[in-house]
Every structure is written in structure tokens, then in C-alpha cells.
Amino acid sequence: MPALTNQVAIVTGASSGIGLATARLFAHEGAQVVAAARRSAELDDLVATIARAGGVAIRLTGDVREEAFAAALVATAVREFGGLDVAFNNAGALGEMGATADVSLAGWRDTLETNLTSAFLAAKHQIPAMTARGGGSIIFTSSFVGYTVGLPGMAAYAASKAGIIGLTQALAAELGPLKIRVNALLPGGTDTPMARDMNHTPESWAFVEHLHALKRIARPEEQAQSALYLASAMSSFTTGTALLADGGVSINRS
């Protein structure tokens, strides 16, 4: 039986990269998917692709920084599919990068709102719906940056992603009695548009590959498999975890 049969799942950041791959995989594994992002054309393509493969998905366009959008995603899942079982809160951004002394306050705040405050808002509205279903799985996308590795010029990003791990742990302790599991996925270098923006020359791409023990960059579909593990009963006794799917970048020194 597919791993998410009869489950309802929200996936944010679903228009590209890890979110796109995960929405497709969740649908393949039997979930009814509410796909969210800011770009409507890409979401339309995703929903059509899932439908052609025999899956079920709808889309909602909006900004994860807005509480009204977090509420609307949950309301859509409940109205269209009857409830909510899984939420992959994956949307995020690199934000303003550069020497910390040169980072603007506006850039700092926008990065934290996009990556961390959005995670809080998502969970705030997902918890009651999952409680009504008797449990569920909340997953956040964090990063090895700010957790096992420090990189220069990424203070806002690192702080926001480290904050997600603290949020994950607090929510896991709070929601365990309600049978809601909460975990964070920490991808390593993955072939996404964001990664291509950061490493836009063959030399920089090769450098990043070499940082990993596996000496390569992940495919988004590989990260989706880790998200599926956290979403499904395969991880039924796993909560409060920062799951590294980082190709060994955290331990590599060669």
C-alpha cells in the first residue's frame, strides 16, 4: 500500500526544487496534496502533472509570510479533502547575503519572516486541524547551515534556519501528547534553482560538490524521499529530530 494512502498533505514552496519533487512524491504515495507557492503557472503545471499520473492535487497561490495564507491553506485542505494529516513547510529563501555589518535591518527581518515566522504561522494553523484528525506530522525545512556548519555572509539565513530547529523541538514536546510529530529536514547541497543562483559557475559548483563526503549534489527527489519518511508511518516513533540529509557535508574534512 502507498505510504500516504488517504492522507491529506500541504506542501509549501511547491513550484520548484525540493517542494516540487515532494508534492509529486506525496501524490504518488496516495496523498491528496494542497500545493502552495507564489508562482501560479508553475503550480498549475504541477497539478496537471500529478493528475496525469493519476494523483490528486489542488493549488493555492500566496505568500507564506502572511498569516491569512497559512490559515487559507489549512481551510482549503479541510474544505476540499476533509482534514489535514501532513504538512511539509518547505518554502524559504536565502535572503540578503553579505558581510553582516552590511546587511540591512529590512533584509534581516525579511529573511526571518520568510524562513522562521512563516514556520510558526504554518504550525499555528495546522495544529488544530491535525488535532481534529487525532494526530499528524509537521515537517519544516531547515539547513545544515547554522546547525553543523557556519558559512560567512549568511548570518540571517543561518539564524532563521537554526531557529526552525528550536521551534521543532519545542513543538515536538508540546504536541507529542496530541499524537502530532514534528521534525526538521536538513538538506545538504541540492540541485535547485536556489542552489544554482548561489553557485552559478562550474568552478563554484564543483567546489560545493567537493564539500560533501559523497562528492556530489543531491537531486531534489532524494530530499523528497527523506520528507516522505518523516511524513509517513515509517517514522512513527520519530519526533523532535533534525534529520540531516546532507551527503556528509557536516562531517567531511577531505
Q: How far is CA 243 from CA 5, 93, 121, 139, 240, in A?
A: 24, 20, 22, 10, 9
Beta strands, E only, 38-80: 56-61
Is 157 one of the annotated active-site residues of the chain? yes
| Three-class DSSP labels, 124-166 | HHHHHHHHHHCCEEEEEECCCECCCECCCCCHHHHHHHHHHHH
Which letter does DSSP use for residue 218 in this model?
B
> What φ, ψ does residue 38 adopt, rounded to 5°?
-90, -20
Candidates 140, 171, 126; CA nearest to 242 is 140
Which letter does DSSP use for residue 97 in this model?
-
Rounded CA gap, 29 and 4, in Å? Answer: 5
Determine which one of 69, 88, 140, 157 is catalytic.
157
Question: C-alpha 79: how far from its chain's center?
Answer: 23
Q: What's the residue count for the chain?
A: 254
Which residues are known catalytic residues? 157
